[in-house]
Amino acid sequence: MNSFKFILLILLFFNQGLFAQSKTTKTEHVVLVTLDGLRWQELFQGADSLFVDDTGMIKNHGSLLEEFWHTDPKVRRAKLFPFVWGTISQQGQIYGNRYLGVKVDTQNKLWFSYPGYNELLSGSADDIRIRSNDKVPNPNKTFLEYLNELPAYQNKVMAFGGWDVFPFIINETRSGIPVNAGFTSANRSSLSETEKLLNRLQEEIRGPWESVRLDPFTHHYALEAIRSQKPSILYIAYGETDDWAHDGRYDEYLKSAKQTDAYLKELWETIQSDPYYQNKTTLLITVDHGRGTTKASWKSHGADVPGAGQVWLLAIGPDTPPLGEIVEEGQWYSAMLPRTIFGLLGLDYPETKAAPEWKEILRQTNSK
């Protein structure tokens, strides 16, 4: 070995040692999940009394009452989200109950999907260039792309989504991150039997929308990736809640929300039962935008719908103190997620214009 190579090796080991000594967090992997258009009102109050038995918003009168209704909102919310209020409320943190003055908002003022996803994935709003849901490659780098550029995470970043615009939001072509979204099939060289079955079923069960597949496909493709490919950084974007709301189907909106809660439970239990992820993974769950509060405005969101920029966040992981539902007044933003995720991984976020980190999620706070 010549002296030049020897010096390079010494520097490499030295730098790795410094990183190991300076990293004070336990998080090695991050799973980010979004539930498109799910309101904070249902998360914290359960089924809405104005909608739960409105025959204009449900198929059959009285069909939701046994499963979702109770006069106590804390009981109602536990009926709708048993995993959130049974596990995350005990082991993690829950933000966004505006009845208590706990505010989480988007920084973008457009209040629909592409601007919302760009903000929570990149760390800042871009209301100038991101002004539609058109399939235009995102000019902004997401935290996923920044991580995929690092040797430690290269080819270990994956994304799964219901909406067929996600390959453009994540800019799959530029970032090199594989994005299975819309009606994309699993297409790696050696498919598992589960992936083969999902590919077939996705062709046979199309669902009611042209641009958004049903959530079971997104969920099980992602779950199979966890089991067989072991991504270190994973993004899962469920989409049904928003599309059922646009269709004016409050019954299907609630059923999809409850089903997604069950998916979160399965996801967390899968993570915690796998030595690769167990006690080394932070799970973050949030939403791209809110929606209206009246029978008419609930179907919609956007800059002209009051409250559509109001969102929420859940966090659970080895570096997140188990504070449960946050009850102290405060203000947080979706844009704070990327720098927070880098902080959990012991890294500095490279985008200077990104929002500051969500300090309460980090047990040991460092300035990032």
pLDDT for the residue numbered 285: 99
Inter-residue contact 131 to 110 (CB < 8 Å): yes
Alpha carbon distance 212, 235 (integer Å): 16
Residues (pLDDT < 50) of the chain are 4-21, 365-368
Supply the pLDDT for residue 213.
Answer: 98
Question: In one letter, which amino acid is 129?
Answer: R
pLDDT at 355: 98
pLDDT at 4: 46
**Nearest partner of 117 among 83, 88, 159, 153, judged by Cα:** 159
Q: Which residues pair with 286 in a beta bridge?
A: 34, 313
Measured distance CA(367)–CA(348) in Å, rounded: 9
* Nearest to 360, CA basis, from 331, 347, 235, 268: 331
The CATH fold assigned to 28-361 is Alkaline Phosphatase, subunit A (3.40.720)
Structure tokens at 357: 């980190």
Q: What is the pLDDT of residue 364?
A: 58
Q: Which two tokens stand for residue 89?
A: 């409320």
Side-chain-side CA neighbours of residue 17 (13 Å): 6
Give the pLDDT score at 2.
55
Q: Tens digits of per-residue pLDDT, 51-98?
A: 999 888 999 999 999 999 999 999 999 999 999 999 999 999 999 999
Distance from C-alpha of 283 to C-alpha of 267, rounded to nearest angstrom: 9
Structure confidence at residue 11 (pLDDT): 42
Cα separation, 39 vs 164, in Å, equals 22
The answer to whether 25 touches 364, Cβ cutoff 8 Å, is yes
